Structure 1
Amino acid sequence: MKLIIDADACPREVLAYCVALCETEGIDLITIASFNHHVQSPHHIVVGNASQEADIKIVNLTESGNIVVTQDWGLAAMVLGKGAFALSPSGREYRQETMDFLLEEREMKAKFRRAGHHTKGPKKRQKQDNVQFKESLEQMILHIKQQE
C-alpha cells in the first residue's frame, strides 16, 4: 500500500499528518507537486508546472490498493478507475458511483465560468476538516489492511 499525495494544493496540516501516520504505520508515502511548490516530505517528486503534469505523474504511479489524496475530481476518477482509493483533504471519500455526478457538476461550473459568470470558491478550511480527514484516512487504511 502506498499513500500518494497531490501536494500542489494539499493543506499543510494534512501533509504533516500523512507524513507522521505513514512513518508510524510503515506505509510508503509519495508526494508530487510542481517546482512552484516547496514540499517537505520523505519521498517527494518534483514535476514541471505544465497543466496536468502532476496529475499525469500521480496516475502513472498509482496502483490498485493505493490511496491518493487530492482535491481534483478528475484525478480522483482516474485513480478510482485503476482500483485505487481516493480521498479529499477534507476527508471526503470519492466513490465510483458518485463520480459521474461530480464530473458533470465540474463541467457545468466550468461552462458557467466560460460564459463570464463567477462561482464561489472553496469554503475556508475548518478544524473539523482536519478531524474528518484523519478519521477517514485511518478507516480507509484499516479497510485496505483487512482486505489483504
Structure 2
Amino acid sequence: MKKLADEYGWHVCFVASYDHRPVDLNDKEDWVFVDPGRDSADLYILNHIHSDNLLITQDIGLASLAMAKNAHVISPRGKTFKEDSIQTALDFRYLSALERKKGNYGKGPKTFTEEDRKRFIKTLCELLSNFEGDSAYTSN
C-alpha cells in the first residue's frame, strides 16, 4: 500500500495503540502510536482526519464518522463505503451486537483471500488516480 501511495504522491500514516505495535517495524516515521484503550486509535484518527483524506478501515462505525468529515473510506477488502449504504451497514452491526449479547455468535469474518487483496489494490488505485496531479490532495 505504501508503494502505491508514494506512486500517487500521498502520505501514509498508520495508527495503532501501543498494545498493537508491530514487532519488526521498519519505517517508524509512518506510524503513530496511541495509548492503549478501546477507542484510542479511533479517536486519534477522527481528531486528525480531514476532508478528502483516505481512511482504510474495517470498522463501520469509524467509517461512518470519517465520512461525516468528508473523508473517503475503503475497507481492507476493497469495499468502498458510500453515504447511501453506510446506514444499512450500521443497522446490521447493531443487530449483530444484539445477537452476540444473547449468546448467538456467527462464524466470524471470512478468510482474507488473494481476491480480497486484488480488489483492495484495484479500488485503492482507482481512488488515488482520481486525485493524481491535484496539488490540493498531495503531500508534495
Q: TM-score, normalised by structure 2?
A: 0.87
Query: 3-state SS of the aligned residue for 1:108?
Result: helix
Deviating runs (4+, > 4 A) in structure 1?
A: none
Say which of 93, 96, 110 aligns to 1:109. Answer: 96
- The aligned counterpart of 1:49 is 36
Write the distance in 2 (CA, Å) between the matches of 1:22 and 1:81. 23
For the aligned residues, what is the CA RMSD? 1.5
Equivalenced residues, count: 131
- The aligned counterpart of 2:20 is 37
- Percent of paired sites with the same residue: 27
Post-superposition CA distance 1:30-66 (Å, at most 9, x none) = 1100112234444210012211110011111110010
Say which of 127, 132, 136 aligns to 2:114. Answer: 127
Write the distance in 1 (CA, Å) between the matches of 2:82 and 2:75. 11
Within a 5 Å distance, the mapping from 1:9-28 to structure 2 comes to 18-28=1-11
Within a 5 Å distance, the mapping from 1:85-104 to structure 2 comes to 85-104=72-91
Conservation of the 8 A alpha-carbon contact between 1:65 and 1:144: no
- The aligned counterpart of 1:63 is 50
- Larger relative contact order (CA 8 Å, sep ≥ 6): 2
Structure 1: gaps (5+ residues):
1-17
Question: What amino acid does structure 2 have at the position aligned with 1:48?
Answer: D
Structure 2: gaps (5+ residues):
none
**Structure with the bigger percentage of strand:** 1
Q: Structure 1 residue 75 and structure 2 residue 62: aligned?
A: yes
Q: Residues 25 and 142 of structure 1: is their aligned pair in 2 closer, same or farther, counting only changes over 3 Å?
A: closer
Write the distance in 2 (CA, Å) between the matches of 1:146 and 1:103. 34
- The aligned counterpart of 1:84 is 71
